[in-house]
Amino acid sequence: MKKALYSFLFLFVTAACSRQSDPVPVSVPASAPTLYTVGWRVNGLTVSTGHYVSILSRSGSTLTVYGREYANERLLSEVQLEVPAAVGTYAFGAPSAAWATYALRGTKHYAGAAPGASGPTGSGTVVLTALTDGMAVGTFTFTGIDPVTKVEKSVTNGTFRVPF
């Protein structure tokens, strides 16, 4: 009898302590690709943006990729890449149309001929290794320069696997 009473109390306490506000886990179909991510290292610190990635557009000949890092619903940093929409290796800067920006709390560091860049910009490369009807995969590395302060940021070990 005591055993039944303890079992009942355990179930009662367990049910009473559960929260209805807990999020329901999202089921991912078995056919879904691995996690979409954008990640990089900046000045030696690793940034991963697994839940905040997107492709802004794939407008015929170009592909624009964003990776955003948030903390407490505030944007901390982001990387934006624009590359030709074809598998290959592209340098940021002339004559390539590829460019990149790294922004930390609103201050942008530019590589290549990025829109809004006035003054010196950094250099680097992006490698688009796969481009399918629904996903882009690649790597990147660049040095971005703040046109006002001339401060450089080194963005290395960049990877992206994003849907569109």
pLDDT tens-place values along the chain, 164 residues long: 544 433 433 333 333 333 333 333 323 334 444 577 888 899 888 887 755 555 655 666 888 888 888 777 788 888 999 888 889 999 997 667 899 999 988 899 999 887 777 777 899 999 999 988 778 899 999 999 998 899 999 999 999 988 77
Contacts of 119 (CB under 8 A, 6+ apart): 145, 147, 148, 150
What is the model's pLDDT at position 140? 96
Which is nearest to 87 in space by CA: 54, 129, 146, 52?
A: 129
Q: Are 122 and 157 in contact (CB under 8 A)?
A: no
Separation CA 100–CA 156 (nearest Å): 12
What is the model's pLDDT at position 144? 92
The two structure tokens encoding residue 10: 């355990």
Q: Are 57 and 64 in contact (CB under 8 A)?
A: yes
What is the model's pLDDT at position 56? 57
What is the model's pLDDT at position 53? 57
pTM of the complete model: 0.72
Separation CA 122–CA 153 (nearest Å): 9
Q: Are 94 and 113 in contact (CB under 8 A)?
A: yes
Q: Are 142 and 124 in contact (CB under 8 A)?
A: yes
What are the residue ranges spanned by the domains of the chain? 36-163
Type of residue found at 37: T
The residue behind tokens 């839940």 is 51
Helix locations, 18-133, DSSP H: none
Contacts of 113 (CB under 8 A, 6+ apart): 93, 94, 97, 99, 121
What is the model's pLDDT at position 3? 43
